[in-house]
Structure 1
Amino acid sequence: MVVTTMGVPDETGADPRGPADPCGDPFLRTRFAIPALPATYLRRERLLGHLDEAPRRPLTVVGGAAGAGKTLLAADWAAAHPGRVAWLTAQMADKGRGTFWAYLLQALRLAGVTLSDGVGLPAEAGRVDEALLTRLAAELSARETPVTAVIDEYDRVTDPEIADQLEFVLRHADPGVRLVLVTRTEPLLPLHRYRAAGAVTEIRNDELAFTPAEAAELLELHGLRLPADEVTALLARTRGWAAGLRLCALAAQGAADPRTYLKEFEADRTTIGDFLLAEVLKRQRAETQDLLLRVSVLDRFCPALADALTGRADAELILTGLHRENAFVEDLGHSWFRLHPLFRDILRAHLRARHPGLETELHRRAAAWLRHSGPLGETLEHAAAAGDWAAAADALVGDLALGELLTGPRAETLADLFSAMGPGPGTPATDLVRAALELSRGGLDRALPPLERAARALAAEPAGDAAAARFGCALLRTLAARLTGSSAQAETAARQAVRLRREIPGRLLDRHPEPAALLDTHLGAARLWAGRYAEARAALTAAADTGRAAPTAQALAHLALLDHLEGHPGRAERRALAALSEAEHPGPAVPPGAGLATLVLAAVATDRDELERAEALLAAPADALGDPVTEAQRAIVTGRVRLARGDTEGALEAADRMVLAQETSPWAEAHTALVAAGAHLAEGRPELAVKLLTEPPGGEPLCLVGAARAELAAGRPANAAELLDRIPAHHGLGPLVTVGAALARAQWHGAEGDPAGQRGLVARALREARPERLRRPFREAGPWLPPLLAALPLRALAEGWLLPGTPRPDGTGRVDEPPPMVEELSGRERDVLVRLAEMMSTEEIAADLYVSVNTVKTHLKSAYRKLSVNRRHDAVRRARELGLL
């Protein structure tokens, strides 16, 4: 090693002033040499700035793991302060107190510190006189300029007496001496006192870790230029560890493809492995080595879990000690620890080599302990790693987490994990997991056999046993019934699930509300398919109100479809957008519910005659569940868009698309017939259109409107009037129905020779359609309508949104309609808007709602964003247009 010496030693390494070692041996000059910096050393000014505090504070501690860059950092700083720094590498500390102090005195003298003969020298290797320390402290305290003593490898000082003596001299020599300790372990000094007095500078592992910018610069010194994301990935593996980065860089220099090497290197096959085994693992006692090897199978661990793997009860003491020694054991807080990633990789490889087959048993033990005391995700990972699929499935089902395989942020992770399960074993839990996996992929036929097998096995269990598994089975059967289009079977399975929930401990239900929400979602979707709107809305609203992202997204999507079926496109749009917002949480690429929400938006775009947008939405990927509600809606919207494009053949083809289901859906049948009838009407076949819309779906309001239009086209206005009179007059019907009905009645009035009545009904239709921007009903009304719209006063009602706008008097052109809402308003935001419409001030709203003014401002800001406005007046006006007030 290249060294820089302080003093004038001769060529043999002995000091010319003669032997001062109490054993009579010459001093070794390497103990006083500041280590030379390698050519690829990176100077880090932020850390040198911390060390610049050393001459102003009694104590500085540079503490970190082996290879953290402590020594080179201290050497860089010391070399910049010649004549003011004494350097000592404490490799002789185990030879006794006298030897340690003899070396420290010599380091001070070589740094130019003049000590009188009265200070003396230790006479014995194992002890030092207190009088010598007193005289030394007294002489140092008299110095005008303090000397800084750097003691490297201070972790070798394990004798508490040496630490006490050093602290005595430091305290009494102040301000003539400053101490810098470079150590792997917590130094044997009363640091708490120095911290309380603000008299210590500490540079620890976290600060020694390289930042992204520093890592990139270090790699450049080795001739390696990496993109920022690859530097970040390397830092994640090395945790910014200096030696790890340097060794990686050196190894990559010799690789054929350095960038690929740095991405894929195996730590145990590099010099990093040799370094950590020699510097960390082999320095530990046999019990500690055994513990480290065993916990290497874990990403994190606590003492109790480590004890479960070792079969001993000493983990807490060992782990605390390892962390204190900076032995690559990181404290996560709350008695949890983890290994440095590279150290963990090396230990795992060492474990496989030293104890073949033990890794599987350790994973099994970890899964068993975590099943009762740890997170479910870690339990499943270790059970899977052990190949114990029965235990993994039992944990998933027993924790009421079976629904997470179907939807939610962990769905893909769990699916990947259990995809490796294979055909065996055949327990009720594994069969339920297999069924859930198939259902999540849309494989209903493959899901039914294991689901029924599990149901038979669970039915043979004593009453009260395996309640969670029975509930999971009922939940999956409800979903299967929904996917087969059987509302009766869904109701039966749901009733069984509700009954079984009473047998599950309340604490488990409180921790996992998702299954109940999923149950309501599946039941609501089945009821919607059956056309039982009120019951469907009740179940879906209950699911949406849980606030759980996955069930909420599905429930909101189905509620959006309900809104659209009842003729409220604006409300349907807002719910669909809310569903997509919920579905944005991490999870499957196309979460369940997202596909249906997108189809509802496509239907609304069609209502507004925004056909390009509708086609783009139809082209979006579908989710995997493939339930009949979604498939029917896709066929209906596809047919409507093709019909709007004039492609009657394509519309009929879409309407004829078969949706496999055990029960017929009245609304799906009605709306499919409406598409087909529209195609026949466009082709001049009104008789066929009438037949399609009156037999059998004649009670659906939109079908009655369509049939009335067909009767008018066939020249039978009396029949049209009778059909329109059958439309129920209640407040549940939205503008999609009422606008179409008004236009059909207007056409009838025209046929009856009543132009005034006709214009009045068209005006009413225009007023109702404008807030929702419903253009399609006017496009489909027939050739009788355009001449009416071209003349005043109807033209004024249609301009700017249905007909091209006319320029304003100032020549700036028409004002476009405001954009639609992008997100549903919360309940509290609606409360604020109601009070805003009553002309209440912000302070009055806050007082009325018992919230702060700042809270009201936050709600207003959010409401403005959602309504696409910037002012109070505009917010109220926009809310009224959207039917929110």
Structure 2
Amino acid sequence: MSAGTGTGHAIDALPALPRTYLARTRLWQCLDDATRGAVTTVTAPAGSGKTMGVAGWARDRTPRDGTRTPPAWIDAEGLTGDRLAATLGAAAAGGPAAGADAPWPPQGDRLDEADEVGVVVVDNAERLDPSCVAVVDDALDRAPHLLHLVLLSRWDVPLRRLVPTMLGTLTDLRGDVVRLDAAESAALVRLHVPDAPDHVVSAIVDQAQGWCAIVVLAARAARAARAAGSRATPSIRPSTQGPLVSDLMAREVFAALTPRERHVVLSVCHEPSVTAEDACLASNDPRALEVLEAMEQTGLLVQRDQVAADGGARFRVHPVLLDVVRRRFVTGGVDIQRARATIARSSDIELARGHLGRALELAAIGGPAAASEFVGAHGLIMVLRGEHARLRVVVDQAAGPLRQNPPASLALAVECWFADDAVGVARWLEAVREPAHAGRLTAVDAAVAGLLGAQLGLEPLVPATRTALDLVQTSAGSLRAGHRALLLTLTGSAQTWLGDLRGAESNLSSAILAARSEGAGALEDVAAEDLALTEYLRGREPGAAELLRRVAAAGPATPATGADGVPAVLLRMHAEPWTFVDAPPADVVAPLSLGLVGAFWAWVARARALALRGRAVEAQIVLDTPAGPARPRHLDTVLEVERSLLAVVNGDTDVLRECADALHRLDAPADEALARGFLAACRGELAAAARHLEAATRAERSQPDTATLALAAQAQLVDALGAPADAAALLGVALRRAEARSNALPFVGWLGHATPVHLLLARAGGDGVSAWGRRLAEGLAAVGPLSSRVSFLSPTVQETRSAAALAAAPVLTARERDVLLLLARGATYEDIGRSLYVTTNTVKTHVTNVYKKLGARTRSEALAAARSLFLL
């Protein structure tokens, strides 16, 4: 912002101040204090406002003290030592006149006097001729009391500083004094755009960070935008303001830096803030801290940000200068090539230290190809360690080269797998499988890609699992970091789906150990989740619960290990099923990391949650809706047993018959006996039902626990047939089996055609019952048997069929719904009136409206229709 236009052969007029000039009272006070000494240097970069700030001070100081002569203002361009000496002599003689000649140093008594010494201001002092610098040094040595000189410079003027600074005759004012504070910046914006909204002013102040020229340019842009009718917040960045700011800064600031300063700035320009250690590493310059501190003293180019974690300072390059520097990376040049080589070296150092995320950030500065190469070599272990965010940034910058690099594409497919992004997994696997990339994947990477694709149904699971098992057995010791743990995890999950639970348990346990030893914390959590589900399927609920507790204690809960994860919900259903009665509907969704088996059990858990709330028909609808790929035989058996439980609690003999026939085809005799026992009980054939259930108690299935289900139901039937002692014995066996597994689910009251199970539990209470048994009895007694809730909330089979004739459920008002719920509880009109604080006639009006909307003539018809339409 230099305004001096003189040649240096004459004293220039003071620069004219703009109409929108802002008085810099803080700067002026500093100048008043500093100019009591001999020489004052004001050092700040171009555009900082030092020229206009000092010109305003020069114009302001004379009216404040009429005895003072106006300062002499000269430009350093073309100034000679003789002319500077003459100007200083004239000022010492009592006030310079244009072109006046006076000896320097003054002769005679003037050496001892200091009256009326005028102020001389030299603008653009960085251009001073060496002869001029010698004059100033001589004046400081011989007659500092006859000197009031202000030097305005973009960088340090090469004066001899030590002795004058110690004597107090030389004062340095840096950019931190020249910088606008937030209030001054806002006031300057208001001078240019009086009606600017507050958010526009704040945006300009935040972006400019005290740089005067940037505030002015952005304010002018805001004024132009408002004149054009645009409501967009202006930006001072080169990408939006065109070449104006960027060219100015590149020409006036960046070019003025020394080669060493340019190299340090180029090396750290891709970081929002850096520590001294970061700067030394990135620039390969052990004295980078000194460079940053020197630039920080200048004021605007570099600022101290906040204190780092180790107690050191952090440095932040001004954002506008950063934009300029980053643009230089596009244009290239010797400086850029040197900076790229240094940054690549820094990336290798960070990689050797194990800081993969930081190493990737540095590698990406080298361009998309370098980023792709790094991701191909190290991206997978980054994903397994949970460093996903840095990879996503690279994807946006180098998507093309990444798709041409199969190992990199596989790493990103695994990242999407962790992020539960099935579409992303499929997209990156498609890049892996492109024919042009054939042979570029190792056997292990190909096996991982095959297992991921099989989870999405893109290829058969059995061949992919066999291939993976062969590699686990033959190549386990030679796999790279992360590959072994990932292969074991995916293989174990596939084995769980296929029913090889022992093999899955072994491989998942090995996966946890491998992930722990390789530092793959994110994968360790996934393997633990898969292992917890496998333990659940093996009938080891306490072990699965303990494993989830350990995972939760080790770190933040994941979607699978949290309270709403599939394993946790299933275990809670077994341990405390009564807590689901009044709970909101459970939206159990399995992440991709739990594989196909996780998705299957999430589907079952959603149906169970509905059933425990008494919504058996809705639960049946969930299980009747196809989900996922074709299931292996053992999971089809699980599904038919679950459907049998829902059918018996709802009294649906047709579904029970279907389930029994399906279990016969699946060669599951014990589970078939359970379904046929339930079918006989629904028909009233209690003795036949008991015989079928006795056969079912010999089941060896772990999930569902068919034997314990059969024992609890058989106890109910035997008691109803008049043999309470035998019923108590059967119940005792069932309780002991269930307690060992914390499995309360068989006792919720699936069978409603015999003695309620909660009564049997109450009868069995006493000193011989364990604490777990007493808690079970108390929990179930508080909510009653499941069959009772279902009869109240779920429609019967006949009601469901008749409801099909209704096009849609009618819309009831809030008061009509209240009345309907009280009718379902058996309340009289008087009871309803007292509960709702309305008259009996009002109740009758609401009841009439409800009957009309439901197409009913009696209370029983209305309730049947409401259950069929799930209005209760």
- TM exceeding 0.5: yes
2:468 aligns with 493
* Structure 1 residue 157 displacement after superposition: 3.5
Report matched runs for 1:284-683 at 5 Å: 341-343=319-321, 345=323, 377-378=360-361, 381=364, 392-401=371-380, 404=383, 408-420=388-400, 441-442=421-422, 451=432, 457-458=438-439, 472-481=445-454, 483=456, 486=461, 489-490=464-465, 492-493=467-468, 496=471, 509=481, 514-529=482-497, 530=499, 531-532=501-502, 533-542=504-513, 545=516, 548=520, 550-562=522-534, 564-565=536-537, 566-568=540-542, 571=546, 574=549, 581=556, 598-603=565-570, 607-610=577-580, 615=585, 617-618=587-588, 627-658=595-626, 664=632, 666=634, 668-683=635-650
* Structure 1 residue 680 displacement after superposition: 2.0
Counterpart pick for 1:97 among 81, 87, 98: 81
* Corresponding position: 1:785 with 2:757: yes
* Corresponding position: 1:717 with 2:701: no
Deviation sequence 1:211-232 (CA, Å, 0-9, x none):
666655543443354566x667
Helix, strand or coil for the counterpart of 1:254? helix
Helix, strand or coil for the counterpart of 1:251? helix
- Partners of 2:121 and 2:732 in 1: how far apart? 93
The change in CA–CA distance for 1:76 and 1:261 in structure 2 (over 3 A counts) is: same
* One-letter amino acid of the counterpart of residue 44, structure 2: G
* Structure 1 residue 681 displacement after superposition: 1.5
* One-letter amino acid of the counterpart of residue 609, structure 2: V
- Partners of 1:201 and 1:768 in 2: how far apart? 86
Report matched runs for 1:197-216 at 5 Å: 204-205=174-175, 215-216=185-186
The change in CA–CA distance for 1:696 and 1:212 in structure 2 (over 3 A counts) is: farther
* One-letter amino acid of the counterpart of residue 397, structure 1: G
* One-letter amino acid of the counterpart of residue 76, structure 2: M
* Structure 1 residue 772 displacement after superposition: 8.7
Q: Does the CA-based 8 Å contact 2:42-2:172 persist in structure 1? A: yes
The change in CA–CA distance for 1:274 and 1:791 in structure 2 (over 3 A counts) is: same
> Which segments of 5 or more consecutive residues in structure 2 lack a partner in the other structure?
273-277, 351-357, 767-772, 784-872
2:837 aligns with none
* Structure 1 residue 247 displacement after superposition: 0.8
Helix, strand or coil for the counterpart of 1:250? helix
* Structure 1 residue 679 displacement after superposition: 2.0
Q: Does the CA-based 8 Å contact 1:746-1:761 persist in structure 2? A: yes
Deviation sequence 1:653-677 (CA, Å, 0-9, x none):
43355555587274x4454233212
* One-letter amino acid of the counterpart of residue 541, structure 2: G
* One-letter amino acid of the counterpart of residue 679, structure 1: L
Q: Does the CA-based 8 Å contact 1:58-1:175 persist in structure 2? A: yes
Report matched runs for 1:126-137 at 5 Å: none
* One-letter amino acid of the counterpart of residue 155, structure 1: E
The change in CA–CA distance for 1:350 and 1:397 in structure 2 (over 3 A counts) is: closer
Q: Does the CA-based 8 Å contact 2:515-2:523 persist in structure 1? A: yes
Deviation sequence 1:407-454 (CA, Å, 0-9, x none):
72235334434544598x6x6557757976997853577666654567
Deviation sequence 1:149-193 (CA, Å, 0-9, x none):
87654433463x655664665577789978765432134246678
* Structure 1 residue 538 displacement after superposition: 0.3
* Superposition TM-score, scaled by structure 1 size: 0.60
- Partners of 2:512 and 2:211 in 1: how far apart? 52
The change in CA–CA distance for 1:89 and 1:695 in structure 2 (over 3 A counts) is: farther
Counterpart pick for 2:214 among 211, 226, 244: 244
Compute the RMSD of aligned alpha carbons. 6.6
- Partners of 1:776 and 1:79 in 2: how far apart? 94
1:121 aligns with 103
* Structure 1 residue 750 displacement after superposition: 3.6
* Structure 1 residue 395 displacement after superposition: 3.3
Report matched runs for 1:254-265 at 5 Å: 254-255=224-225, 256-257=228-229, 259-263=231-235
Q: Does the CA-based 8 Å contact 1:555-1:593 persist in structure 2? A: no
The change in CA–CA distance for 1:646 and 1:765 in structure 2 (over 3 A counts) is: same
Q: Does the CA-based 8 Å contact 2:673-2:692 persist in structure 1? A: no
2:44 aligns with 64
* Structure 1 residue 253 displacement after superposition: 0.6
Helix, strand or coil for the counterpart of 1:458? coil
* One-letter amino acid of the counterpart of residue 375, structure 2: L
Deviation sequence 1:684-737 (CA, Å, 0-9, x none):
33566566678759699x999999878877634355456446569xxx999x99
* Structure 1 residue 636 displacement after superposition: 1.2
The change in CA–CA distance for 1:55 and 1:647 in structure 2 (over 3 A counts) is: same
Q: Does the CA-based 8 Å contact 2:90-2:96 persist in structure 1? A: no
* Structure 1 residue 759 displacement after superposition: 10
Q: Does the CA-based 8 Å contact 1:394-1:429 persist in structure 2? A: no
* One-letter amino acid of the counterpart of residue 675, structure 1: E
* One-letter amino acid of the counterpart of residue 103, structure 2: L
Helix, strand or coil for the counterpart of 1:410? helix
* Structure 1 residue 249 displacement after superposition: 0.9
The change in CA–CA distance for 1:474 and 1:105 in structure 2 (over 3 A counts) is: farther
Helix, strand or coil for the counterpart of 2:748? helix
* One-letter amino acid of the counterpart of residue 393, structure 2: T
* Superposition TM-score, scaled by structure 2 size: 0.61
* One-letter amino acid of the counterpart of residue 640, structure 1: R
Deviation sequence 1:244-285 (CA, Å, 0-9, x none):
122111121121345415158745526434643553467799
Report matched runs for 1:170-189 at 5 Å: 170=140, 182-189=152-159
* One-letter amino acid of the counterpart of residue 643, structure 2: A
* Structure 1 residue 635 displacement after superposition: 1.7
The change in CA–CA distance for 1:2 and 1:579 in structure 2 (over 3 A counts) is: closer
Asked which structure has the greater CA Rg, the reply is 2
- Partners of 2:707 and 2:180 in 1: how far apart? 68
* One-letter amino acid of the counterpart of residue 639, structure 2: T
* Structure 1 residue 398 displacement after superposition: 2.4
1:813 aligns with none
* Corresponding position: 1:155 with 2:126: yes
* Corresponding position: 1:219 with 2:196: no
The change in CA–CA distance for 1:581 and 1:215 in structure 2 (over 3 A counts) is: farther
- Partners of 1:770 and 1:56 in 2: how far apart? 91
Helix, strand or coil for the counterpart of 2:585? helix
* One-letter amino acid of the counterpart of residue 232, structure 2: T
* One-letter amino acid of the counterpart of residue 541, structure 1: I
The change in CA–CA distance for 1:269 and 1:791 in structure 2 (over 3 A counts) is: same
Deviation sequence 1:543-567 (CA, Å, 0-9, x none):
6646645424533443453465433
Helix, strand or coil for the counterpart of 2:20? coil
The change in CA–CA distance for 1:68 and 1:550 in structure 2 (over 3 A counts) is: farther
- Partners of 2:184 and 2:746 in 1: how far apart? 62
- Partners of 1:189 and 1:238 in 2: how far apart? 32
* One-letter amino acid of the counterpart of residue 534, structure 1: E
> Which segments of 5 or more consecutive residues in structure 1 lack a partner in the other structure?
5-12, 15-20, 123-128, 308-314, 460-465, 584-591, 806-885
* One-letter amino acid of the counterpart of residue 489, structure 1: A
2:822 aligns with none
Q: Does the CA-based 8 Å contact 1:330-1:340 persist in structure 2? A: yes
